[in-house]
Amino acid sequence: MKKYLVAAAVVITLSACSTGTAEEEVKVSSAIPVSQKTVEAREATAYVKKPIEEMTEEGLTVVHNPESVAVVVNKQRTLPEGYTPEDLTVPDVDFYFDEFLPKKQMRKEAATALEELFSAAEKDGQQLVAASGYRSYERQKTIFNNYVEVYGEEKTKTFSAIPGTSEHQTGLAMDVTSAEMSFQLDQSFRDTDEGKWLADHAHEYGFIIRYPEGEEDITGYTFEPWHLRYIGKEKAAEVHEQSVTLEEFFGFMPE
Ligand SMILES: [Zn+2]
């Protein structure tokens, strides 16, 4: 019985921290009274080293692996507050605008993969144009609140992410368009040569079409043929082959 009490105390203490890093685990461990530093206490400490996913006040799960290229962020799973990727860089690809804007950025590995994807497309005669990548928590908050003023919160939630839940904040997403689309993001992109090429080849460079058609019950979003998400070549190939959503692939189905 004691064992479970100690474990519960440790979990509660950790939940108050922003992340469960090794450093914090040490602090938590040393906070246990010496008299309880028994085998049970050590077991309890070992227990908390398993990923613990905290919940926000709104009932969202806070992901424990924001830096992983396999991170799953969606309407139920949010990034830790204030998360900013540390290796953001501007991929050397065509954008529909020239000036530097933060949304030109992606994480290094994803940026390199995007460059490979764009040059492969070009070799096949397809001119992809990048539109929007990294978006900070603050930027998403502004966008979301602007939509709420026009459409109301319920409607806004169907097409815009609550701050912290946008995949663009991971630095692993890029919206892609073309001149034929007048650089707009629209479902008709699917029917263009560039859109078809992307659907067929994105996975070869480590990307998936994150929000496939007819899967909004699972992903929470309507079809977005322009939204690319980097997950690495191996996983992207499997997701493509199995023709599943990221939620299904990693077993994070909405409850
Ligand atoms: Zn997007």
Nearest to 212 by CA among 184, 244, 186: 244
The predicted pLDDT at position 22 comes to 34
> Alpha-carbon dihedral of residues 76, 245, 103, 87, nearest 10 degrees?
90
What would the pLDDT profile of 22-52 be if each residue is shown by its tens digit? 333 333 333 444 444 444 444 444 444 446 6
CA of 166 to the centre of ligand 1 (A): 8
* Mean pLDDT calculated for residue range 133-154: 94
- Same domain membership, residue 93 and residue 177: yes
Banded model confidence at residue 16, pLDDT cuts 50, 70, 90: very low
Q: Which amino acid is at 228?
A: L
Identify the weakest region by mean pLDDT among 70-74, 95-99, 158-162.
158-162
CA of 52 to the centre of ligand 1 (A): 28
Question: Would the pLDDT of 151 be above 50?
Answer: yes
Asked if residue 57 belongs to a domain, the reply is no
Provide the residue range defining the domain that includes 174: 65-250
- Same domain membership, residue 203 and residue 174: yes
CA of 1 to the centre of ligand 1 (A): 49
Question: Would the pLDDT of 210 be above 50?
Answer: yes
CA of 129 to the centre of ligand 1 (A): 14
CA of 161 to the centre of ligand 1 (A): 10
CA of 226 to the centre of ligand 1 (A): 7
The predicted pLDDT at position 41 comes to 46
| DSSP conformation class of 68 | S
CB within 8 Å of 234: residues ≥ 6 apart? none
Asked if residue 34 belongs to a domain, the reply is yes
- The percent of residues above 90 in pLDDT, for the chain, comes to 71
Higher pLDDT, 105 or 24: 105
Asked if residue 54 belongs to a domain, the reply is no
The predicted pLDDT at position 52 comes to 67
Sign of the four-CA dihedral 29, 33, 38, 39: negative
CATH at 94: 3.30.1380.10
Rounded CA-CA distance 206/251 in Å is 20
- Same domain membership, residue 31 and residue 150: no
- Same domain membership, residue 162 and residue 82: yes
CA of 160 to the centre of ligand 1 (A): 10
CA of 57 to the centre of ligand 1 (A): 26
